Structure 1
Amino acid sequence: MNEIIKQKIKELFFKNKGYATTKQISDKGINRYYVSTLEKSGFILKIKTGLYKWVDYDFQYNFELVDVFKIVPKGILCLTSALAYHELTTINPWQYEIAIERSSKVIIPEYPPIKLLYFSQKQLNIGITNIEVDGHLIKIYDIEKTICDCIRYRNKIGIDIVKEGINEYIKRKDRNFNKLMKYAEVCRVQKILKQYLEMLV
């Protein structure tokens, strides 16, 4: 492969913090044939149709998490995935749980493992915070919204995980019970949340 073209493509990936689309490459006047050549040679990895990652880019944190949000750019990290990020559970989730709007249509590749949760607009758009991972912005629910969502999905993720999450939340100095109860109202879990709190506090 022409080393000059390869270097030009590599610079584009590094400028975009490790990722590039076939359109971005084509816009540089580079034939898409070179994308296929780089993929076959192991220099780049296909994340989804039209999107690639430079394999040897110096990802410092969790490159898979960035991959997930390149696949589902409008998604929000939630449930046990958010619990783990906020250090509210000892479990290590085997899949990435991502909240999206109910009318969204997303094609999920075989890897990484992604579980989509379809939320109403009202429940989707509260409690969102942004974090930066290797220069890429990722949306995640804050600790209070995460607790409320876990209560909503308690029968799917497990009661023990919910109890552990609430117990760890209570220990935190940055907890905000007013915000927690506000979110609980929106998520319609006030009664159940109060029962958990009475049992654990």
Structure 2
Amino acid sequence: MAKPRAQRELAQNLLKKQGIMRLLELREAGVTAATMSRMERAGEVIRLSRGVYQLPDADLDPNHSLAEAAKRVPKGIVCLVSALAFHGLTDQLPPKVWMAIGPKDWAPQRSGAGIRIVRFTDSLLREGIETHVIEGVSVKVFGVAKTVADCFRHRGKVGLSVAIEGLQEALRQRKATPAEIARQAEKGGVSTVVRPYLEALTANA
């Protein structure tokens, strides 16, 4: 095991490269939990949430909360209102990051970083995933067409007006075609809900 000073330098170099890291990742690289605690007390690192660290002078991306959420919920995929906001399809800034996980996946019990968990079936969890790098972190986000369909599927949670806004903006900004949205709506079992809005918006185009 490397000496504490060497561990501190290793931790700083790793965090400079990767932006945000979990304690598990740091420990696998040879940095102990005790070293991270000492660095936190000395102000050399910031503990964003339990077991998640970042350098204090790190440049924060506008989507910083998504990177932090991805570290806290490694199997999670950014979804619903948070995915709409990421794609520029709503003016809403959700106070919590909406994350989709599988029916049996682990979820943090206390979402100190502001995470709202939504459980998706395994088949719907595999559809339309994009990967974006935010502050050095690989963040999985559902694509535009999938997100719009999901908002209609979860309209009871996000509100029908939010789902309609997402649909309007996706078409207006040409970030998804009507066919792509219709296909995702069918896969999500909401084609009969989405179709009237889709037809009305495309008829007016």
TM range (shorter): 0.7 to 0.9
Aligned to 1:12: 14
Q: Does 1:130 align with 2:131?
A: yes
Q: Does 1:58 align with 2:44?
A: no
- Tell me the distance in 2 between the aligned counterparts of 1:154 and 1:85: 19
TM-score, normalising length from structure 1?
Answer: 0.86
Residues 39-86 of structure 1: CA deviation (Å, up to 9, x unaligned): 122222334554422222334443322111000111111101011111
Aligned to 1:112: 113
Matches within 5 A, 1:90-109: 90-109=91-110
Please tell me whether the aligned partners of residues 20 and 53 of structure 1 are also in contact (alpha carbons under 8 angstroms): no
Number of aligned residue pairs = 199
- Tell me the distance in 2 between the aligned counterparts of 1:17 and 1:189: 39
5+ long unaligned stretches in structure 2 = none
Aligned to 1:37: 38
- Tell me the distance in 2 between the aligned counterparts of 1:27 and 1:86: 34
Please tell me whether the aligned partners of residues 171 and 177 of structure 2 are also in contact (alpha carbons under 8 angstroms): no
- Tell me the distance in 1 between the aligned counterparts of 2:73 and 2:39: 24
Matches within 5 A, 1:159-178: 159-178=160-179
Deviation for aligned residue 1:108? 4.5
Instruction: Name the SS for the 1:7 alignment partner.
Output: helix
TM-score, normalising length from structure 2?
Answer: 0.85
Percent of counterpart pairs with the same letter? 27
Please tell me whether the aligned partners of residues 146 and 184 of structure 2 are also in contact (alpha carbons under 8 angstroms): yes
- Tell me the distance in 2 between the aligned counterparts of 1:69 and 1:92: 17
Residues 61-115 of structure 1: CA deviation (Å, up to 9, x unaligned): 4332211100011111110101111111121111100001111012244421100
Instruction: Return closer, same or farther for 1:139/1:22 CA change in 2, 3 Å cut-off.
Output: closer
- Tell me the distance in 1 between the aligned counterparts of 2:159 and 2:90: 12
5+ long unaligned stretches in structure 1 = none
Please tell me whether the aligned partners of residues 12 and 20 of structure 1 are also in contact (alpha carbons under 8 angstroms): no
**AA paired with 2:57?**
D
Range that drifts further, 31-40 or 117-126 = 31-40
Instruction: Name the SS for the 1:52 alignment partner.
Output: strand
- Tell me the distance in 2 between the aligned counterparts of 1:147 and 1:68: 21
Q: Does 1:21 align with 2:27?
A: no
Matches within 5 A, 1:71-90: 71-90=72-91
- Tell me the distance in 1 between the aligned counterparts of 2:7 and 2:152: 52
**AA paired with 2:137?**
H
Please tell me whether the aligned partners of residues 133 and 139 of structure 2 are also in contact (alpha carbons under 8 angstroms): yes
Q: Does 1:67 align with 2:68?
A: yes
Residues 110-166 of structure 1: CA deviation (Å, up to 9, x unaligned): 421100110001111101111111222111111100010000111211121112111
Please tell me whether the aligned partners of residues 144 and 175 of structure 2 are also in contact (alpha carbons under 8 angstroms): no
Instruction: Name the SS for the 2:100 alignment partner.
Output: strand
Instruction: Name the SS for the 1:64 alignment partner.
Output: helix
Deviation for aligned residue 1:3? 6.1
Instruction: Name the SS for the 1:165 alignment partner.
Output: helix
